[in-house]
Amino acid sequence: MKIIIVGRGEVGSSLSDALTEFDIHPWTMDIDDLTSAEIERIHPDAIINAAGKTDLKWCEENPRETFRCNIEAPVRLYQRITTHNSSSVKPIRFLHFSSGCIWDGPYDATGKPFTPLHPARPAVFYSWTKAAADQLLLAEDPTSVAILRPRQIYSARHTTRNTISKLITYPGLVTTPNSMTSMEVIIKTVRFCLVSKDNWNGVWNIYDPGVTTPFEVGKMLAEAGLRKMPAAIEKSELDAFHKPRRVDTVLYDDRFEKVIRPEPFEQVIKRTIAQFKSA
């Protein structure tokens, strides 16, 4: 299978490195440069969009470019894909990275985790752009797109975007419940969405089952000798100085748990911290 991966950041690079069984074509230019002519030339089986503006503060300060990159360009790309699909015997699948942070939780009004069916409840501009893109893609055509919503992605890579690297850096960490998503389970889900004959499209919440807090993970990192023991801080204390404010979200997805069979968080985080330490 021929796969175009758009976006050379944390997720795009990790996918390019991991999906070695496929013929990967990393797209290094702007999303908008992936024109219909380019799509016809490369003739992919699937396009993965892991591109977007992700720095929350930058997004607030540059709303127009954020709007273009996170909403307009992915929707325009999907329109080109659906046009191709309407006249082709080989339809292209579109895998689009959204985010679990479209919900400002950690839980819904009844105290339950957010499922793919919950209406979006964004707290900051970046989250609004992610939620809007999801709705527009689904309105365009829900059949050829998988919308993937991870939360606080972590891996053994020593990069600034890795959640483990971030939790090593901050002196104080909040004690609010959250989901976290290993790159391992993202790769497993992407593989499924690329090769499965059916049940691959629609919205997927992606996470390692089991609720944690940034403070708990900070303690594990301290026990592994990767940082000093963190100070526990309340969410209200963080909100007083952290702008745009941090979003906390706990995810659940029945289909994801049945079909992907993700490993519990406890196991994956322990293994990944050990790998991070020795990398």
Give me the residues that bind ligand NAP (CB under 6 A), please.
Answer: 6-12, 30-31, 50-54, 69, 73, 97, 99, 130, 150-153, 161, 163
In angstroms, the CA 233 to CA 187 distance is: 33
Question: If phi over 0 gives left and psi between -120 and 50 gives alpha, with beta otherwise, what is residue 50?
Answer: alpha
The partner residues of 3 in beta bridges, in order of sequence, read 24, 46
Give whichever of 145 and 225 is closer to ligand NAP, judged by the CB atom. 145
CB of 30 to ligand NAP, least distance (A): 4
Closer to ligand NAP by Cβ: residue 24 or 51 = 51
The CB-of-131 to ligand NAP minimum distance in angstroms stands at 11
Residue 197: CB minimum distance to ligand NAP, A: 26
Q: What is the rounded distance in angstroms from the CA atom of residue 267 to the CA atom of residue 22?
A: 28
- Residue whose CB is nearest to ligand NAP in the complex, by number: 9
Closest CA to 84 of 30, 44, 32: 44
Residue whose CB is less far from ligand NAP, 36 or 88: 36
HSE-up of residue 145 (Cα within 13 Å, Cβ side):
26
Helix (H) or strand (E) holding 148, with range, is strand 145-149
Tell me whether residue 16 or residue 163 sits nearer to ligand NAP (CB atom): 163
Longest CA span, the chain: 59
Distance between CA atoms of residues 109 and 39, nearest Å: 43
By beta-carbon proximity to ligand NAP, the closer residue of 49 and 88 is: 49
